Amino acid sequence: MKPRDPIAQLPTHDVFNMPPHMGDQDLWADDRALRHWTGVLGGGGHAGHLAHVGRTAGLDDTFEKADQANRHGPEPRAFDRYGMRINAVEFHPAYHDLMDLAVSGRMHNFAWANEGNAGHLGQSALTYMFSQPEGGVMCPMAMTYSAVPPLRTTPKIADEWIPRILSTQYDRRDIPAPEKSGATIGMFMTEKQGGSDVRANSTRAVPVGATGIGQAYLLTGHKFFCSAPMCDAFLVLANTENMGLSCFLVPRWRPDGSRNNLFLQRLKDKLGNRSNASAEMEFQDTHGVMVGDEGRGIVTIIEMVTGNRLYCAASSAGIMRQALVQALHHTSHRSAFQKRLIQQPLMRNVLADMAIEVEGALALGLRVAQALDNADDPAEAALARVGTAVAKYWNCKRCPGLVVEALECHGGPGYVEESIMPRLYRDAPLNSIWEGSGNIMGLDVLRAMGREPDAIRAVMYEIGRARGNDANLDRAIKALQAALDDPVGLEGRMRTVTGMMALTMQGALLTRHGPPEVAEAFCASRLGDRFCGAYGTLPGGLDLDGIINRALPG
């Protein structure tokens, strides 16, 4: 544990003008924007649970365990001491403590435990909070949450596996799922030759007969990125001989109680997300059960992808929030040129600019989650389809730059590993890559424009409800409509168009439901004539004091 009140007694100098140890954070009570947007968008009934998780996830002990789990990463253990193939991964005890905290806090199932009651909104708020101390354990949480819709396409599989997912007990044992007190689900899709183009997958599946929960197959092939390989089962795409790409549930253990043929090849040496294991896996006559209809693998698994993309948007907003909190703490206690850093005019511009970014990202992610909660309404369902790609694209793209800016606020101390900033910096790019890069998100929006015009109309209706609130927003809405109406070179412009959608959606949300000082600054900077993307470039005349005070913890 880090000391709370370190006293420096050095023979050569006194230690002063150094920020104190931050100590415990309250990720719910200290975040005015989170509490505001959760309530405005209909999740106020979850405040009790969110407050509990915010306190426990923000404890100094939680951040310390996250540091330990990332410093002492997972290790492959393909064989046991007797030479038996077990295809396991060993984790530092801190990782298991964090997994226990996440599962007991319903990071993996809140949406389904509160289905029909702003469950996805609550799920996104939890993701936003827990991603601040540690993103690695959130990978199995996200996949387990997102696995429920595809599992429901096959009722017998759903009846067996969903009760395990709804458990709030973390069971780390590598034993058959029926013997465990809870379970997690992963996803293996990517292969070397295809990446995001899963139609290039070469893994094949051969039917071998029926089981109690569906048609069984033997899968043979490889998977190049298999995150969280210690989950209890995985959704996998493989080709059948007659119908092509199909979806399968592949458990770690076969129904007869023997180990399934999941041959761990190696763990990836990743840039970030180091507490979480990502593996290369070989299948050889590996048992799996078909989920959904044969030949409809992409359609079956796409809702899992949608859930994971919503997770990415919320997680990136959470990483940005913690980077901002760290910058605010440092600049509030560090002085230069006879003033606290936070009192320096240019630093105030930087901090306020970052605070605007964080609140816009949070509002956008939670609004898309709200639309998913109301998918019985065709307009909300359409908004969720496009909005998920838009929020995933923009929040994940803005995250790395903001983390770098927050790191720069610390100067040199932010660049050493004793600080949380290097870990946030390494983790920041991941969400933009996972579940589809920026190009894939733009192409998804383009596909919706061609195939689902109602979806684009839903987005424009959502944005249009804010017309007249701000002159810069009105001009941005007009420019977006012109961009959508221009077919020339549209595919090559889809990053621009998707970004315009994100900014106008954020501006609309902030002007309709946000605090005036944040809404005015957002529209004047992001939707004005001179937006360059760099932080610290807010125009004059804005209420920087109000923006910074809103962002300050407590």
- Whether residues 307 and 279 fall in one domain: no
- Whether residues 280 and 322 fall in one domain: no
- What pLDDT, on a 0 to 100 scale, did the predictor assign at position 552? 98
Would you say residue 196 has pLDDT above 90?
A: no
235-267: pLDDT as tens digits: 999 999 989 999 999 999 999 999 999 999 999
User: Does 23 reside within a domain?
Assistant: no
Last residue of a domain, one of 291, 323, 350: 291
- Whether residues 334 and 319 fall in one domain: yes
C-alpha triplet 309, 313, 314: angle, nearest 5°: 115
User: Does 524 reside within a domain?
Assistant: yes
User: Does 52 reside within a domain?
Assistant: no
Counted domains in the chain: 2
Would you say residue 463 has pLDDT above 60?
A: yes
140-169: pLDDT as tens digits: 999 999 999 999 999 999 999 999 999 999
Confidence tier at 82 by pLDDT (50, 70, 90):
very high
Would you say residue 268 has pLDDT above 80?
A: yes
Instruction: Name the average pLDDT for the chain.
Output: 95
353-412: pLDDT as tens digits: 999 999 999 999 999 999 999 999 999 999 999 999 999 999 999 999 999 999 999 999
Share of the chain above pLDDT 90, in %: 88
- pLDDT, mean of residues 418-429: 96
Listed residue (2, 54, 502) closest to 318, CA to CA? 54
Non-local (6+) Cβ contacts of 265 within 8 A are: 279, 280, 281, 282
- Whether residues 430 and 472 fall in one domain: yes
- pLDDT, mean of residues 122-137: 97
- Whether residues 305 and 426 fall in one domain: yes
545 and 521 Cβ atoms separated by less than 8 Å? no
Would you say residue 92 has pLDDT above 60?
A: yes
Residue 504 is part of a domain; what is its CATH number? 1.20.140.10
- Whether residues 144 and 246 fall in one domain: no
- What pLDDT, on a 0 to 100 scale, did the predictor assign at position 1? 47
Instruction: Centre a 10 Å sphere on the Cβ of residue 117 and count the other Cβ atoms it contains.
Output: 14
What is the spatial distance between Cα 327 and Cα 330, in angstroms, rounded to a whole number? Answer: 5
Would you say residue 111 has pLDDT above 60?
A: yes
Last residue of a domain, one of 269, 291, 313: 291
Share of the chain above pLDDT 70, in %: 99
- What pLDDT, on a 0 to 100 scale, did the predictor assign at position 151? 97
Would you say residue 6 has pLDDT above 70?
A: no
- Whether residues 305 and 282 fall in one domain: no
- Whether residues 207 and 309 fall in one domain: no
Residue 215 is part of a domain; what is its CATH number? 2.40.110.20
Quote the domain boundaries for residue 308: 105-153+297-554
477-506: pLDDT as tens digits: 999 999 999 999 999 999 999 999 999 999
Listed residue (100, 434, 381, 89) closest to 252, CA to CA? 89
- Whether residues 301 and 282 fall in one domain: no
User: Does 45 reside within a domain?
Assistant: no
Q: What are the tokens at 277? A: 């294991």
Residue written as tokens 């009846």?
A: 159
User: Does 168 reside within a domain?
Assistant: no
For residue 258, what is the DSSP state?
S
- Whether residues 221 and 302 fall in one domain: no
Last residue of a domain, one of 262, 291, 320: 291
Residue 99, φ and ψ in degrees, nearest 5? -65, -40
- Whether residues 120 and 149 fall in one domain: yes
Non-local (6+) Cβ contacts of 115 within 8 A are: none
- pLDDT, mean of residues 117-129: 98
Helix extents (H) in 147-234: 148-151, 155-165
User: Does 392 reside within a domain?
Assistant: yes
What is the spatial distance between Cα 346 and Cα 332, in angstroms, rounded to a whole number? Answer: 14
User: Does 28 reside within a domain?
Assistant: no
- Whether residues 274 and 375 fall in one domain: no
Confidence tier at 8 by pLDDT (50, 70, 90):
low
User: Does 190 reside within a domain?
Assistant: yes
- pLDDT, mean of residues 424-439: 94
